[in-house]
Structure 1
Amino acid sequence: MLYHYQIETNEHDVVALTDQVKDSVEKSGVKSGLCVVYTPHTTAGLTVTSFWDPKGFEDIQDEIRRLVPTRIDFKHQHDTPQDAAGHVKSSLIGISLTFIIEDGTLLVGHSQGVYFLEFDGPRKREYYVKILSDGMER
């Protein structure tokens, strides 16, 4: 099963996807398998992190901006310097995540959440959740 979602982001936004991903798993009826979360964007990323402290989201974006600052000397200047930096950030962070489904539940730690990271924005974005059964339904 494939589920498609659309979101609107702000500049350097962090958007929680956990509830929609868990709902997709539940709707699928799959008891055992894999869940892949994917975004088809080159200036965004997906990550898993703790949801306990919202300031942690700021830390993540701050550190990513520190590691890959927006600068005018990128060779790629298709759009803006921020866009060029976004491509590098997306390549480093990644655009997909894979999770185990067991007993019809997405296996994530008690403080883990799934998040969309915007490296450009504001933008209209999309992401997909693909549920794969391993055929070991109980």
Structure 2
Amino acid sequence: MMLKNFKIKTELNDVVSLTDDIKEFVRESGVKSGICVVYTPHTTAGLTVTSFWDPKGFEDLQDEICRIVPTRIDFKHQHDTPQDAAGHVKSSLLGVSMTFIINEGELLAGHSQGIYFVEFDGPRNREYFVKIYAD
């Protein structure tokens, strides 16, 4: 088992690619077959898999998430800002962990799939963890 902590800086509504760093860590691990878990310990951010082919797709992703959960002042959660409250809901819907298969020493992913950190409340200093388990 191997664990690595990654640090990133985000801005509001960033969609940050994690794909290359995760793929590199999998290769460096030497694990030929197993599982890779990606996790972020934040409640106003999330993780997703989406296509990397068109950068405008990231704007569509954030636009639609914001359409589904708009920032508004009538949230019952009033600990911080309305943006913070909306970020908690968005994070809960998107999720903060993902599991991937390692096959033949590589992260198993579709040809257009990328792994992304989605920020709902930045700018922030963020982190995510990658844990690799061998079969």
TM bracket (short chain): over 0.9
Pairing of 1:1-138 with structure 2 (within 5 A): 1-134=2-135
* TM-score, normalised with respect to structure 1: 0.96
Between the two proteins, what is the percent identity of the paired residues?
A: 76
Q: Distance in 1 between matches of 2:128 and 2:117?
A: 9
Q: Offset at 1:77?
A: 1.1
Q: Following the alignment from structure 2 to structure 1, what is the Cα–Cα distance between the partners of residues 78 and 124?
A: 19
Q: Distance in 2 between matches of 1:43 and 1:75?
A: 16
- CA displacement 1:49-75 (0-9 Å, x = unmatched): 000000000000000000000000101
Q: CA RMSD in A?
A: 0.4
AA in 2 matched with 1:40: P
Task: Write the distance in 2 (CA, Å) between the matches of 1:48 and 1:80.
Answer: 28
Q: 1:20 corresponds to which letter in structure 2?
A: D
Q: Which runs of 4+ in 1 moved over 4 A?
A: none
Shift of 1:78: 1.0
User: 1:108 & 1:65 partners in 2: Cα distance?
Assistant: 27
Scaled by the length of structure 2, the TM-score of the pair is: 0.98
Shift of 1:27: 1.1
For residue 85 of structure 2, give the secondary structure of its aligned residue in structure 1. helix
Unaligned runs of 5+ in 2: none
**Separation in 1 of the partners of 2:45 and 2:25?**
21
CA distance in 1, matches of 2:84, 2:124: 12
